[in-house]
Structure 1
């Protein structure tokens, strides 16, 4: 595969051909990608920071830092595969992930964000994991989909005309009773 074909395949995403993926608002779609890419970069840096802590004889967060490095690389590989052009099969991995429904990615990101917090709780781990968690929440919102049209929402909110309504009710009783409004 030539370099030109690789660049062309980078810009062609598997999600561009999905049925209901066109209904997703653009700000959620690109916001999820941007936040995921940023979260991956932050996870790589905080993972290096936690792994380098072994030089200061702090062995508590070495494994958590290694997990953060892995999570950061996965986030960048799935959200921005053009940053991993040097790996030949990365576009295929990203295309497979794009063909899955959004809820699988949301669940994956939420679970993966909790693991480093369990292994090494600290401010850098908390910030990096919170970014991954927020990315999972955005993908969860995308899996819910777009809300209904204005006409659909109006039809749901309007009362049905053929159902008999009671003549009174709590609202009528409170408004018509003068003793309720009189100070005692």
Structure 2
């Protein structure tokens, strides 16, 4: 068993089909899962640290910390449910997130990452939200799908022609002739 197969077997979810049904590369799938796990941990850590700002009566800092903890917990639950096994609802929430298409996860993670930064900005929140947002971006890239092969792109470029009814096709034909007009009268 190779090293990459060992890593893949560790990162698999229980009951997951070993053969992927989509065309997403394995490194992108596990990279998004790893980034989400690290981002979730940092979100919970920096969110808890930000909640300590309630001592100096910083309500936006406290609310931002709470939303970052919630975002980190949701991402950690979706990407690495084994880290939150002490919570009863984790497997149910993880199954719901796992069944959703990639673009749903992208929107959820990006939305959760931006909210704490609107409430209060700090470097720790920026780092944790950046990792969560990066996970959403990776899921967004996975939802776009695989790029076409070079032969398919080459044949599509050769076969494409500009129709005459397009804006570029008739722009020069509809051009008005240039004419010279006299200088306006200054008496008017």
TM range (shorter): 0.7 to 0.9
* TM-score, normalised relative to structure 1: 0.73
Is residue 68–residue 116 contact of structure 1 (8 Å, CA) maintained in 2?
A: yes
**1:141 matched residue in structure 2:** 141
Shift of 1:154: 2.3
Aligned length: 151
Is the counterpart of residue 72 in structure 1 residue 72 in structure 2? yes
SS in 2 for 1:11: coil
Q: Which residue of 1 aligns with 2:31?
A: 31
TM-score normalised by length of structure 2: 0.72
* CA distance in structure 1 between the partners assigned to 2:94 and 2:18 by the alignment: 13
| Structure 2: segments with no counterpart, 5+ residues | 1-11, 162-188
Structure 1 position 12 matched with structure 2 position 15: yes
Further displaced range: 54-63 or 74-83 = 54-63
Alignment of 1:1-184 (within 5 A): 10-13=13-16, 19=21, 21=22, 23-159=23-159
SS at match of 1:61: helix
Q: How far apart are 1:17 and its partner, in Å? A: 7.2
Cα distance change on mapping 1:158 and 1:96 into 2, 3 Å: same
Q: Secondary structure at the match of 1:88?
A: coil
Q: Please tell me whether the aligned partners of residues 113 and 130 of structure 1 are also in contact (alpha carbons under 8 angstroms).
A: yes
* 1:106-131 CA-partner distances (Å, limit 9, x unpaired): 01111111110011111111111111
Partner residue of 1:4? none
CA distance in 2, matches of 1:28, 1:88: 29
Alignment deviations for residues 39-82 of structure 1 (CA, whole Å, 9 cap, x no partner): 00000110011001223444430111011111111111000011
Q: Taking structure 1 as reference, are residues 152 and 43 closer, same or farther at Cα in structure 2, changes over 3 Å only?
A: same
Q: CA deviation at 1:35?
A: 0.4
Judging by fraction of residues, say which structure has more helix: 1
State the secondary structure of the residue aligned to 1:24.
coil
Q: Alpha-carbon deviation of 1:149?
A: 2.2
CA distance in 2, matches of 1:141, 1:114: 18
Per the TM alignment, residue 92 of structure 1 is displaced from its structure 2 partner at its CA by: 2.4
